[in-house]
Chain A
Amino acid sequence: MSDQRIEAYSRALFEVAHAENNLSVVEDELFRMARAIESNEELRSTLTDSSIPAQRRQQVVEELLGGKASNTTVQLVSLIIGAGRGRDLPAIVDRLVQRASSEQQREVAEVRSAVALSDDQKKRLTEALSKSTGRKLNLKVIVDTSVLGGLVATVGDEVIDDTVRTRLEQLKTRI
């Protein structure tokens, strides 16, 4: 998909979420959905398989997110999948997150953790990362069991990695 089209879709999603006055929640849910599509090969191939009817793919989205995400998020994801742009959903959502962060003059901080973070931990982590990087941040937490333990935070080009996986990799390299 061209950059222009990704930009257009992200702008449309942004405007809808903004109009619904639900931008923060929708943005967060879309972000998690995008990461889930990226990391799950089976889900990705199902949602991007053009041989499966669009209606069926949309049904999969609704079954997957129903009750777990806001109605706006479900409708927006369903719209993109139905338009046959499932493969570009992560890029569209990333652009949307960037746009939303820019609106708040913030930068996206992507954090991967093996377990979910509490709201208090997210708040303190945001403050710590903002203090460390000197920037206002929009924290996005992804539960990724492959990190095994600890956290890895990516802010722009800067990566702060203190995961068990990385330590094991370093140990393996030394061995």
Chain B
Amino acid sequence: MNLIYSVLIAIPNETHHWLLPETAEIIYGGLASSIVFAGLYKFGWPMAVKAMAARTARIQRDLDAAADARAKSETDALSIRTALGDIESERQKILLEADTQAAAIITDGRVRLVKEVAELEAKAVADLAAARGRSGEELRGEISRLSSAATTAAVSATLNDRAQQDLIEGFITSVGASR
């Protein structure tokens, strides 16, 4: 209470109130402040309004761009999802075809292998038979050759001059008697 009182009561030794200004100061200060506020209102406010409007427009543009990007992303995502679906179906189709072809190849291969094995077996049997026959033929040929050589040698050894003359005379006689 004493404090409030002491504030409100001017100090007798002081020229000015320790808290309240002079009236003139209040007037001049008020005028100056009014001028400053008027200037700010006159020149600063439009700029601030303009800056705010520009900022709003920029934000709006960013929002629009973000919306567009989002829409585009959604479209792209849809396309990708569609493509993924297509890829998946294509993959399934390719896998199915591959499975079918692999099954066909395996079947064909098995058939071909069975056939080839059968052919190889038949050829082997035929080769064996041929080799057996060839060996027999070669043996017979060798026997024939040796027999022939032996016969020729034996006959040549017996063909003395007398035998030669007998053969010649026999030829002359047989030819002369042939007609």
> Residues on A close to B: CB < 8 A?
113-115, 117, 121, 124-125, 127-129, 131-132, 134, 148-151, 153, 160, 162, 164, 168, 171-172, 175
Closest B-chain residue to A117, C-beta based?
Answer: B168
Binding site for A on B (CB under 8 A): 143-144, 147-148, 151-152, 155-156, 159, 161, 163-165, 167-176, 178-179
Query: Whole-angstrom distance from the CB of B143 to the nearest CB of chain A?
Result: 8
CA distance A159 to B114 in the complex (A): 61
In the bound complex, CA of A150 to CA of B155 (Å): 12
By beta carbon, the residue of chain B nearest A125 is B172
Interface of B is mostly: helix
Which B residue's beta carbon lies closest to that of A173? B144
Task: State whether B152 touches A124 (Cβ < 8 A).
Answer: no
- Which of A117, A128, A134, A168 has the most chain B CB within a 10 Å cutoff? A128
25 A-B interface contacts by CB (under 8 A): A115-B164, A115-B165, A115-B168, A121-B169, A121-B172, A125-B171, A125-B172, A127-B176, A128-B175, A131-B176, A132-B178, A134-B179, A148-B152, A149-B155, A149-B159, A149-B167, A150-B167, A150-B168, A151-B168, A151-B171, A153-B175, A160-B171, A168-B155, A171-B148, A171-B151
A-B contact count (CB 8 A): 71
Q: Is the CB of A113 within 8 A of B168?
A: yes
Q: How distant is the Cα of A131 from the Cα of B175 in the complex, in angstroms?
A: 8
B176 and A172: CB pair below 8 A? no
Partner among A148, A149, A160, A175 whose Cβ is within 8 Å of the Cβ of B175: A160
- The contact of A164 among B148, B155, B175, by CB within 8 Å, is B155
Q: CB < 8 Å: which of A124, A151, A172 contacts B167?
A: A151
Task: Using A115-B164, A121-B168, A148-B156 as known contacts, say yes or no to A168 and B175 having CB atoms under 8 A apart.
Answer: no
